[in-house]
Structure 1
């Protein structure tokens, strides 16, 4: 074991100097009981680089098709922003080592952001009538499934996502006064499902849900 004669502290690992006073260490190095973090991080870094490479290739392909087939600039803009948002999310998720269920909850928000980008660039009402409601219905269904399967564990881990999904599910109500819902069926179903899930959470999980939301949001 390595020892600092000045600080009188023993160390494991292969350090050459004391981390406290920078004096030379004496003794025989011993393997550290902790796992080498570099071994755990290398696969994540490689995956992040692969995704970055894929995003750049997709951007170049989009640029190529825009020039060859004379796509409108708004298509290029929406594609570029969506790829950027997706790439940043994927890199941050991989590097942080986030739990898969957290990733699935957050991925829905990324899809919504990309849909709103396309709506702002193209003004295509198919996005408000189909893409956004279908995305929100998928998020609400995923919330309901995790609540049924995980029960109390779900509330402890994902309370803030449940509240956020219900709120997002009610947002399409603004499509009606803005005349963004010429085909209102999916929009209405999305709002109805969100209300049903909200009522179910209030009736069956209000106390633990409110407690966990305050805790997770540090209120």
Structure 2
């Protein structure tokens, strides 16, 4: 056990899917895994381990934002031996071609700041996805027929952003969507020589103002989980 994860040794699989919402972790585990069992509920951060097509998988919530994700990913890697970590979450679309309910696979994750920023000092480190996972996810998405976009995203360290000028420049430079966790996930994976990827469902759009009602989000996220599992194995 660690300070934030109550799982016993052997409870966490080498492949971990990481939704921000712990209740989405429960839904995904009950929907996609065989024999899922609760392995963590410290501070209400639910985690379940089961199997998918015979492969052990853990689905562990991370909470909102890079500081929260950093805690769980550090402990999952250092104390439980996680080797493949895939974020499954939502994002806000930032291009006209990116529609609500589309899938975004993050090749890179730009950011103003992460919990790891201090160790790089003057260096602008460029966090990116694992190529093998990225390629497998793109192929799985293409095979499924779901509308998918592969490219750069923005990991914000605030939810209520008041920088319309920054949004304008990111849109101008082709950023597909905004979320709050992937840049730190990719940085930690690089530091510890692990595989990481972020697969996101567009839940709202910064340009059009369109947004999925909360009751529709869960039903729209199933394809994202399926793609993540296909990519991992």
TM-score, normalised to structure 2, is 0.24
Between Structure 1 and Structure 2, whose CA radius of gyration is higher? 1
Larger proportion of strand: 2
Relative contact order (alpha carbons < 8 A, sep ≥ 6): 1 or 2 greater? 2
Q: Write 1 or 2 for the structure with the bigger share of helix.
A: 1
